[in-house]
Structure 1
Amino acid sequence: MASRDAVKLVKVSKVYKMGRVYVVGLRNVSISFAKGEFTSVVGPSGSGKTTMMNLIGGLDRPTTGHIYIDGVDTVYLSDDELTVLRRTKIGFIFQFFNLIPTLNAMENVMLPMALAGRYSREERKRRALMLLRLVGLGHRAKHKPDQMSGGERQRVAIARALANNPTIVLADEPTGNLDSKTGRSVVELMQKLNRERGVTFIIVTHDMEVADMTRRIVQVRDGRIVSDDHRG
């Protein structure tokens, strides 16, 4: 039976050892994100929000507790299995876009499909162009990142995040490198994808204007969830 939750954390803690000092990133956090949610995670620097995102994204492992992605307990996965899950179930959007500068927009969107070993080359091209059109950049398919504006690059990054039809998309400060007007248009695009295609988004941000555009705001402080506001 398919899980209704895209993500579920059960009593998750993360402790980092830095020399002789232990630093707690997350403290016994339990939370779930249903499929189709449009959620923001907010908090000051050092609050634990980035730690939570890295754990959900399979970029790090918890010290204790369990993390379920689409019903799969990632704690029991090998590194190779976790890599496969990350490539097929999770899309990432970063503050600085992280596009490959030598590849054009279409090639950047095709790359996650190739890494996951999904689709034929022709199908990758077809899907990449479809996704670029979806984010309003079909006409930029052959352009490289340095030929595009910041907003356009982030739209390419959104298309890339959707390449393998992921269960969830994690966006880490997606507007942090954009002016306010462009940033708002990027979040509005994510809203549209969530509303019309059911894409599940978790947006990590320190910008309350961005958070106010989401339907749920989770606030993290000192490694704990201090509020969880469902707004319909």
Structure 2
Amino acid sequence: MNKVVASAPDAVADIPNGASIAVGGFGLVGVPNALIAAVLEQGATDLETVSNNCGTDGTGLGILLEAGRIRRTISSYVGSNKEFARQYLAGELEVELTPQGTLAERLRAGGVGIPAFFTPAGVGTQVADGGLPQRYDADGGVALASQPKETREFDGVTYVMERGIVADFALVHAWKGDRMGNLVYRASARNFNPPAAESGRITIAQVEHLVEPGELRPEDIHTPGIHVQRVVPVGPVTTGIERRTVRS
């Protein structure tokens, strides 16, 4: 039951070209930067990522994006990444925009074996009706648009069907983890890490503090080890400031 891997490069060595990867984090918080950097060094390309945001310029998934290693992404918030916008509008990146809560539930649903669910989020918009540009061509025309989704009425309210997401791999960051893969997240770094961890067929967790089995109280565990296949101790990390505002 010892799931500890010696290093981040060892943990991601078998991620192949074309893999789908769910990634935890929100902005700069709770991002598995050591694992992402190891994927960059490893060389896998043509990747499909699933994350709240596709990193920011120069950090997180942004470094894979800048290297041209991401073919497609399922994301919710993309406003802090200029390179993302450039690639999307230039037709170099395929993007499936998903409401934030829907994205979290799609990851969670996939992880617990629910193939689809109904939600009111997006009803009456292009999220449900289709037509959202997913990929542009080199001339700025829409090369690929989203398709209409199934809707159904329950108790007089219309809902849209969304599919659960199961990723080939998941990369997450935790504050503490034991050798059996049980994870504890700290404060807001919890964000998208739990549903991302659930959704991966192979989930790799970088942890700041590696502890022995039994040291984590059961009631404190956020992600049980059944969802985690590899644990990589990386030591304490620092979180940057995404937008620094000071008075003149």
TM-score interval w.r.t. the shorter chain? 0.3 to 0.5
Q: Normalized per residue, which structure has more helix?
A: 1
Please, what TM-score do these two structures have when normalized by structure 1? 0.33
- When Rg is computed on C-alpha atoms for both structures, the one with the higher figure is 2
Using CA pairs below 8 Å that are at least 6 residues apart, which structure has the higher relative contact order?
1
